[in-house]
């Protein structure tokens, strides 16, 4: 059965717009008694058909697979196999991240014996209520498709369904096939046609003609429209169509984290980041908008501030998405369609339409003001330690237009969202659907695997680095060099800042000794050398303590042609400003702490601006 599984996966292809490619780029795996004699044996026997990649952590390999799929616009994927028990459940976090970000990943965890003869087998979770329970049931809520293969012939039904979901723009995410370890080794007389190459066509669904007309009428009636570009714009390959549409109609574009790069940063209609980490012009234009055109976007609370950003009492929404649920959000006019197809159809329907000269002039003015603000915020201070904004600007200058920056969690994604200047749709890769600490280095590896010609800059804070740094070893092993910029603030800077803003003084967010007198973790800083740790994992180490040494370190790391870590300490108090968007983080209604009492007042004021859109 395991051999049949690997053979089937090796001949699956994906096609869009007439371009065909092999769907699976290989399989990651960590082996134990639950898969070593099944899937591992099959990979060893068929190594020419399905490349095998070794990794160091099961969660990390799922992150790598998700990043690989994203870099390929969801048209290619990787599979991941583990043993039963802890190896399997280590993948849960990555599985949730892939499903939330709607990225195709195939998980193949080992499972309990189908025969149940050895039960309870090593690492088995027993249930008094059922013998049909294992830890792999935990994958059900974080998988878009889940199945347990109790008989070898069940592959004939399960694998085509798995491929249907993996290649569906609307349904894709994590697919989990739990594989009982004895069944993996059982034989079955599979039909030969099961192993013939198969092509899965990724279609571009077009919107209903009436929905296109309604959306077009709403745009023509608007005076201050704005487009929110989400990840669906990039996955659809709609960036050129969007730029042409925005410039012809005079409708400005703001971008989510996944949609950043939908327009070049210097495009006439590009106002930068949306949401809580939004740019000043994006916040201003969204506040006054009378029509919001959401394209390939989930309208999440942080990356669009969708319940507080839009304050015009008359604001209406158009939802363009292949996912019906997203198209209907905020009582929108739903246009259930591929992003590129919908933009092209609206462009035809809106022939001759343009926003007013005054609106275009306003967009241009606030856009230019923002470029000056970025220059101000990122200007060298001459100090040491550096501000995080200075580090971001230095990496941005060092990177070529086609190079990729990767990040996921902490304070850095927000600063990158505002400050990073992208000219290529693939140059910005920040995982923010799940904002999973530890994604960064594993994700950077996936991006590099997808396109080795691109230089990958992984921006990772010390908190995320400590959670998952071991894929440095995999990068070295596979000869896939990364430049890892390790930004060390001595703790959890993002949540520390949030904690202080909520009156809690950064409780539990600094890396310090426990003070013997107070009993609190507010003693001296810990003597941890993360750079030395990275070097011990096989990376070349470069240290920086000011702007000149940082620029020199980045140049040396690039010239090395090897996985390199640039370790730079930053001032956690030197923060990039916010520009007016609010995020709902509840503050204690009752507290004896004056700072919390004051923060509660601000919270209630912010909450008063929340809206439900019912028409």
Per DSSP, helices labelled H in 300-408 are 324-327, 339-349, 357-377, 388-398
170-197 pLDDT per residue, tens? 999 999 999 999 999 999 999 999 999 9
Which whole number is the average pLDDT over 306-332?
Answer: 95
Which whole number is the average pLDDT over 108-130?
Answer: 92
In the predicted structure, residue 302 carries a pLDDT above the cut 90:
no
Q: E strand or H helix at 218, and its extent?
A: helix 209-221
Q: Percent of the chain at pLDDT above 70?
A: 100
pLDDT of residue 508: 84
pLDDT of residue 507: 87
68-82 pLDDT per residue, tens? 999 999 999 999 999
pLDDT of residue 257: 97
Residue 59 pLDDT class (50, 70, 90 cuts): very high
pLDDT of residue 280: 96
In the predicted structure, residue 156 carries a pLDDT above the cut 90:
yes
19-29 pLDDT per residue, tens? 999 999 999 99
Which whole number is the average pLDDT over 147-172?
Answer: 98
Which whole number is the average pLDDT over 457-477?
Answer: 96
pLDDT of residue 191: 97
Taken in order of first residue, the domains within the chain and their CATH numbers are 2-201 (3.40.50.970), 209-371 (3.40.50.1220), 381-490+525-569 (3.40.50.970)
In the predicted structure, residue 416 carries a pLDDT above the cut 90:
yes
365-412 pLDDT per residue, tens? 999 999 999 999 999 988 889 999 999 999 999 999 999 999 999 899
Which whole number is the average pLDDT over 145-158?
Answer: 98
**What span, in angstroms and rounded, lies between the C-alpha atoms of 287 and 581?**
9
In whole angstroms, how far apart are CA 540 and each of 406, 504, 556?
Answer: 19, 39, 10
Residue reference for tokens 């088995």? 124
DSSP label at 526? P
482-503 pLDDT per residue, tens? 999 999 998 888 888 888 888 8
pLDDT of residue 514: 93
pLDDT of residue 444: 98
Q: Which residues contact 379 (CB under 8 A, 6 or more apart)?
A: none
In the predicted structure, residue 440 carries a pLDDT above the cut 90:
yes
In whole angstroms, how far apart are CA 126 and each of 142, 161, 530, 586?
Answer: 22, 29, 40, 39
């Amino acid at each position: 059965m395991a051999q049949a599984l690997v053979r089937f996966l090796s001949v699956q292809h994906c096609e869009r717009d007439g371009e065909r490619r092999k769907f699976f780029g290989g399989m990651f795996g960590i082996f134990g008694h639950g898969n070593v004699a099944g899937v591992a044996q099959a990979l060893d026997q068929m190594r020419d058909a399905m490349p095998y990649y070794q990794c160091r952590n099961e969660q990390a390999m799922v992150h790598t697979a998700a990043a690989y799929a994203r870099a390929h616009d969801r048209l290619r994927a990787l599979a991941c196999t583990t043993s039963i028990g802890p190896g399997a459940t280590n993948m849960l976090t990555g599985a949730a991240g892939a499903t939330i970000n709607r990225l195709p990943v195939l998980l193949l965890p080992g499972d309990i014996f189908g025969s149940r003869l050895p039960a309870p087998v090593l690492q088995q979770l027993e249930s008094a209520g059922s013998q049909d329970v294992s830890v792999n049931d935990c994958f059900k809520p974080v998988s878009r498709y889940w199945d347990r293969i109790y008989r070898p012939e069940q592959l004939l039904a399960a694998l085509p369904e798995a491929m249907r979901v993996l290649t569906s723009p609307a349904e894709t995410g994590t697919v989990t096939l739990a594989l009982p370890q004895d069944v993996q080794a059982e034989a079955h007389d599979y039909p030969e046609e099961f192993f013939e190459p198969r092509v899965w066509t990724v279609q571009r669904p077009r919107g209903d003609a009436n929905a296109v007309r309604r959306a077009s009428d709403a745009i023509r009636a608007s005076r201050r429209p704005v487009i929110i570009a989400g990840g669906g714009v990039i996955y659809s390959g709609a960036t050129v169509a969007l730029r042409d549409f925005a410039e012809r109609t005079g409708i400005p574009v703001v971008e989510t984290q996944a949609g950043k790069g939908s327009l070049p940063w210097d495009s006439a209609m590009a106002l930068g980041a949306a949401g809580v980490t939004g740019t000043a012009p994006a916040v201003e234009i969204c506040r006054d908008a009378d029509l919001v055109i959401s394209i390939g976007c989930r309208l999440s609370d942080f990356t669009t501030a969708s319940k507080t950003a839009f304050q015009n009492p008359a604001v209406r929404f158009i939802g363009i998405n292949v996912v019906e649920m997203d198209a209907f959000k905020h009582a929108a006019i739903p246009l259930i369609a591929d992003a590129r197809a919908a933009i092209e159809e609206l462009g035809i329907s809106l022939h001759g339409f343009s926003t007013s000269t005054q609106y275009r002039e306003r967009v241009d003015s606030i856009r230019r003001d923002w470029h000056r603000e970025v220059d101000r915020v990122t200007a060298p201070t001459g100090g040491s330690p550096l501000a995080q904004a200075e580090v971001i600007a230095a990496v941005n200058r060092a990177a070529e237009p086609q190079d990729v920056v990767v990040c996921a969690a902490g304070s850095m994604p927000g600063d990158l969202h505002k400050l990073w200047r992208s000219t290529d749709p693939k140059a910005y890769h920040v995982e923010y659907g799940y904002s999973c600490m530890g994604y960064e280095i594993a994700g950077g590896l996936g991006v590099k695997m997808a396109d080795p010609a691109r230089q990958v800059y992984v921006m990772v804070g010390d908190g995320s680095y400590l959670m998952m740094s071991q894929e440095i070893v995999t990068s070295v092993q596979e000869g896939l060099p990364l430049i890892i910029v390790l930004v060390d603030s001595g703790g959890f800077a993002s949540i520390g800042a949030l904690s202080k803003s909520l009156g809690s003084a950064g409780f539990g967010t600094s890396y310090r000794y426990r003070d013997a007198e107070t009993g609190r973790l507010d003693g001296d800083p810990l003597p941890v050398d993360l750079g030395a740790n990275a070097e011990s994992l096989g990376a070349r180490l470069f240290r920086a303590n000011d702007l000149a040494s940082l620029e020199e370190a980045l140049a040396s790391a690039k010239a090395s042609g090897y996985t390199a870590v640039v370790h730079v300490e930053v001032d956690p108090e030197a923060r990039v400003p916010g520009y007016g968007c609010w995020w709902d983080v509840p503050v204690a209604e009752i507290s004896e702490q004056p700072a919390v009492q004051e923060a509660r007042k601000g919270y209630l004021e912010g909450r008063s601006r929340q809206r439900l859109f019912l028409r």
